[in-house]
């Protein structure tokens, strides 16, 4: 019955829907009828609230309890150290330095030679060394040409965390004879022919160490020497100098300051001189292909007669015409240089009359080229002109039997040309050629007495199988004008070539032999008027290094 009732109910509902749709389908045909439509008012049922709040359960977290049981036995494993091998140096040990050198020889003219050099090995904190040399000759003959050269030098360095301290002590003793005149022509005794010179040098300095190139770099030094002869002439010379370097915008600024005092005294006079020099210079670089150096040479001079101040430019510029192959350079400079008795002796040891006049280089211009012809051959050529006052020349003094200094007190023009060629092939072969030309336009002296215009030097070194070392040397000089005082007699000395050849043999790592042939053409030329050199001479001996 329930199923029948449900069936009837469904049929009834279907009929109702169909009738409703039919009424709507006919709505468009109706006329004069109106539908009244009211606003829909929804009715919401009352909200049913949950009578209780949710209270979720909080989980309980407990930290685990961990227990460790350590063994009561201690294991002692042997440590192993592995040495890290440097990538560049490998495992090779530095070779042992041979810091000691001895040379012993003997030659004709009764010429013994002794030379020794002893130096400390590698040390991170200090270095020290000693050098000794003796060479003399006692030839027989009418002219007493005996000489003796003796040198002793000691030096040491101490390396500090922020600088280096160095100390040098040197002593030199030289003996010569004024053998220019035979005994029959002398007006002085043999005892007065002997000249003995001795010099004691003391030097000390300190230079700082900076890893930062922008920091101030300085080098301080002090030097004193006492130079005397056996004629009661004494010269004391003291120099205190400092060189300071600082980079400004990447370019170096250098300032050198020096205080120089020189005192000469003998039985007749006492002469004191003071020089204060200031030499600043600043170098500008341009793309590593050119540079410009701007500087000054300033000197304050004072003696018992006058006080003068000299300022000269010091400018140099260079540019690479061909990168790493050809460079052109030129400069303009000048300076005021003190003349000392020691400097005169080193140039002409037969000078017996001491006269001092400082050299004033008022103007000097130079220009040149330097470069490489190949990887093994290099060259340089330079030409210049200078205006020099108190240029020094030499004359023979027949009254003292020695040389006398002649000064051109005027300002003369000096032309200078220099050329140099170097060729080398590793450590097997080396060749050097040097040419110098000097032209003098003298004024207060008649000629540039004793001074050559052309000199050349050719040096050759050839290593044969690391066993034999062949050396050669040729020195040439053109003719010179000479004058004898007080007679004013003039003459020309002929040009000469001095040829020397040497050979060294390396017997083992520590021992070697040498032989040296000097003046093999036996040309007893005269570099200084009336003082002929030795003829052909030979010197042979033994060398030891360890």
Q: What percentage of the chain exceeds 70 in pLDDT?
A: 80
Say what percent of the chain tops pLDDT 90.
Answer: 69
Residue 209 has pLDDT above 70, yes or no: yes
Q: If you average pLDDT over residues 232-257, what whole number do you get?
A: 95
User: What is the average pLDDT across 492-505?
Assistant: 96
212: exposed, middle or buried (C-beta count within 10 Å: 0-12, 13-18, 19+)? exposed
- The CA distance from 365 to 382, in Å, is 11
Helix (H, G, I), strand (E, B) or coil at 264: strand
pLDDT at res. 141 = 74
Residue of 322, 331, 323 lying closest to 368 (CA atoms):
331
Q: How many CB atoms lie within 10 A of CB 327?
A: 19
Q: Is the pLDDT of residue 44 over 50?
A: no
- CA 381 and chain centroid, separation: 22
Residue 330: the pLDDT is 98
With bands split at pLDDT 50, 70 and 90, how would you rate the model's confidence at 83?
low
Where is average pLDDT lowest: 173-177, 287-291, 462-466, 525-529? 287-291
Q: Is the pLDDT of residue 386 over 80?
A: yes
pLDDT score at 185? 56
Which of 460, 458, 432, 438 minimizes the C-alpha distance to 450?
438
Please give the residue that has the higher pLDDT: either 55 or 336: 336
Query: Across residues 461-480, what is the average pLDDT?
Result: 95
Tokens representing 338 are: 């003190």
- Interatomic CA distance for residues 285 and 293, integer angstroms: 9
Q: What is the pLDDT of residue 86?
A: 56
How does pLDDT run across 146-195, given as a tens digit for each residue? 999 999 999 999 999 999 999 999 999 999 998 887 655 555 566 678 89
Q: Mean pLDDT throughout 503-510? A: 94
pLDDT above 80 for 278: yes
Among 280, 205, 200, which residue's Cα sits nearest to residue 240?
205
Confidence of residue 87 (pLDDT cuts 50, 70, 90): low
What pLDDT is stored for residue 122 in this prediction? 79
Question: For position 12, what pLDDT does the model report?
Answer: 55
Q: What pairs with residue 172 in β-bridges?
A: 151, 199
Average pLDDT estimate for 204-225: 94
Q: What is the pLDDT of residue 111?
A: 96
Give residue 205's region: left, alpha or beta (phi > 0; psi -120 to 50).
beta
pLDDT higher than threshold 50 for residue 77:
no
Please answer whether residues 385 and 365 qualify as being in contact, where contact means their C-beta atoms are separated by less than 8 angstroms. yes
For residue 222, what pLDDT is reported? 98
Q: Please report the pLDDT score of residue 27 as a whole number.
A: 43
Mean predicted confidence (pLDDT) in 58-85: 49
**Cβ distance 475 to 497 under 8 Å?**
yes
Query: Which pTM does this prediction carry?
Result: 0.78
Q: Out of 74-88, 107-121, 468-482, which region has the weakest mean confidence (pLDDT)?
A: 74-88
CA 188 – CA 427 distance, rounded (Å):
53
SS3 state at 321: strand
Please state the rounded mean pLDDT for residues 389-400.
Answer: 92
Of residues 356 and 130, more confidently modeled: 130
Residue with more model confidence, 58 or 496? 496
Model confidence at 68, pLDDT cuts 50, 70, 90, reads very low
Would you say residue 220 has pLDDT above 90? yes
pLDDT of residue 127: 93
**Average of per-residue pLDDT values in the chain:** 85
Which has the minimum average pLDDT: 56-60, 202-206, 374-378?
Answer: 56-60
pLDDT value at position 432? Answer: 97
* pLDDT score recorded for residue 98: 73
């Amino acid at each position: 019955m329930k199923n029948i009732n449900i069936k009837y109910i469904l049929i009834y509902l279907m009929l109702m829907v169909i009738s409703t749709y039919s009424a709507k389908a006919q709505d468009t045909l109706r006329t004069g009828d109106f539908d009244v439509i009211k606003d829909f008012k929804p009715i919401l049922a009352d909200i049913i609230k949950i009578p209780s709040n949710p209270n979720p359960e909080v989980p309980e977290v407990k930290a685990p309890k961990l227990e460790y049981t350590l063994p009561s036995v201690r294991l002692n494993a042997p440590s192993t150290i592995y040495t890290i091998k440097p990538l560049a140096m490998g495992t090779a040990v530095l070779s042992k330095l041979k810091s000691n050198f001895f040379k012993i020889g003997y030659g004709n003219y009764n010429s013994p030679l002794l030379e020794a050099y002893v130096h400390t090995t590698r040390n991170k904190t200090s270095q020290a060394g000693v050098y000794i040399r003796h060479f003399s000759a006692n030839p027989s003959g009418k002219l007493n040409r005996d000489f003796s050269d003796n040198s002793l030098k000691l030096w040491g360095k101490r390396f500090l965390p922020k600088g280096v301290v160095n100390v040098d002590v040197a002593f030199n003793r030289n003996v010569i004879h004024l053998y220019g005149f035979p005994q029959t022509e002398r007006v002085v005794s043999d005892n007065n022919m002997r000249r003995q010179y001795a010099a004691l040098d003391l030097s000390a300095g300190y230079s700082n160490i900076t890893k930062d190139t922008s920091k101030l770099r300085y080098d301080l030094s002090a030097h004193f020497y006492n130079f005397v002869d056996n004629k009661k002439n004494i010269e004391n010379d003291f120099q205190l100098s400092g060189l300071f370097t600082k980079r400004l915008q990447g370019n170096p600024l250098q300032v050198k300051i020096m205080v120089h005092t020189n005192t000469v005294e003998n039985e007749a006079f006492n002469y004191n001189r003071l020089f204060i020099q200031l030499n600043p210079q600043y170098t500008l670089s341009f793309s590593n292909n050119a540079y410009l150096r701007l500087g000054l040479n300033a000197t304050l001079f004072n003696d018992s007669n006058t006080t003068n101040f000299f300022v000269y430019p010091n400018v140099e510029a260079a540019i690479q015409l061909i990168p790493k192959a050809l460079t052109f350079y030129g400069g303009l400079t000048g300076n005021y240089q003190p003349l000392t008795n020691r400097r005169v002796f080193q140039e002409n040891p037969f000078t017996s009359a001491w006269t001092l006049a400082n050299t004033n280089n008022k103007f000097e211009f130079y220009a040149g080229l330097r470069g490489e012809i190949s990887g093994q051959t290099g060259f340089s050529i330079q030409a210049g002109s200078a205006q020099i006052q108190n240029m020094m020349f030499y004359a023979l003094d027949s009254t003292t039997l020695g040389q006398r200094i002649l000064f051109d007190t005027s300002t003369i023009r000096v032309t200078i040309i220099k050329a140099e060629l170097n060729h080398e092939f590793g450590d097997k072969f080396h060749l050097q050629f040097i040419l110098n030309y000097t032209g003098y336009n003298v004024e207060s002296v008649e000629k540039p007495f004793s001074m050559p215009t052309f000199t050349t030097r050719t040096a050759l070194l050839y290593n044969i199988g690391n066993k034999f070392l062949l050396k050669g040397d040729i020195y040439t000089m053109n003719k010179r004008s000479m004058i004898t005082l007080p007679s004013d007699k003039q003459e020309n000395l002929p040009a000469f070539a001095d040829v020397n050849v040497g050979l060294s043999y390396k017997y083992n790592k520590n021992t070697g032999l040498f032989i040296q042939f000097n003046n093999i053409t036996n040309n007893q030329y005269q570099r200084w008027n009336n003082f002929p050199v030795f003829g052909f001479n030979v010197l042979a001996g033994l060398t030891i290094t360890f």
